[in-house]
Structure 1
């Protein structure tokens, strides 16, 4: 009986790069996820106030209203009903909760009033509105 050398027994002349490409794609996906998770908040163009005082609260939540009217709480987009539920849960867990409202200067006033009304309805104990200080203004 003769032994035949087939195609399976020949040594490889090339490196198989498929596993390396798989690893690189997984690393790319991990990098993208970690980069987007590291972004703090959403960009809001705040109006300026000359007598703005810094608000430093340890137990606080930030509500941002973007220029397109999207509402987010702690950088997570929510609807008004979801915002109400999250605020009620936060107040139940932290009675001295401070809420900071960041409204873009281009947002419609109606949207800001809806959020303010909602905060009043759920009984937010402390509410502050974020602003920027104009150059050379304030203390």
Structure 2
């Protein structure tokens, strides 16, 4: 019995696997571009190069891990905090509040302080720290 060795060169290249890959990449691209995450639109303030010469009152509110509130280092309740902020705003309408939330504190307490500042129409900022400091 004789085995015939028929080694002919290919006349054409099979492009089916390449087209399958192209279609898969096209579908992935379409899905990734249309499934973009919707977020909030926020207008961030622009930094100023000149230092401010105006001095306004600053209150620091700390939210402790147990939910306790400190106003400039003094323990206060939520109602005391509100009355202190109202009095401070009457003295200086452009006063501001810095909110320091401990990493172990409940987020609901921080939101309560933010809501209070929004209700009183007081400018506020959240104090953050770099990781590792």
SS in 1 for 2:70: strand
Q: Offset at 1:70?
A: 0.4
Residues 14-58 of structure 1: CA distance to partner in whole angstroms, max 9, x if unpaired? xxxxxxxxxxxxxxxxxxxxxxxxxxxxxxxxxxxxxxx9xx975
Aligned length: 81
Q: CA RMSD in A?
A: 2.3
For structure 2, the 5+ residue unaligned runs are: 1-46
Map residues 16-27 of structure 1 onto 2, 5 A cutoff. Answer: none
Q: 2:99, 2:127 within 8 Å by CA — same for their partners in 1?
A: yes
2:56–2:94: 8 Å Cα contact kept in structure 1? no
Q: Which has the higher contact order (CA 8 A, sep 6+)?
A: 1
Q: Which position in structure 1 is the counterpart of 2:128? A: 131
**Runs of 5+ consecutive residues of structure 1 not aligned to the other structure:** 1-52
2:62 counterpart (61, 64, 70): 64
TM-score calculated relative to the size of structure 2: 0.56
What is the CA-CA distance between 1:134 and the residue it aligns to? 3.0
In 2, Cα distance between equivalents of 1:66 and 1:83: 14
Sort the Cα spacing of 1:58 and 1:133 in 2 relative to 1 into closer, same or farther, 3 A.
Answer: farther
Q: Compare CA radii of gyration and give the structure with the larger one.
A: 2
Partner of 1:122: 120
* Counterpart residue number, 2:89: 91
1:131 to partner: Cα distance: 0.8
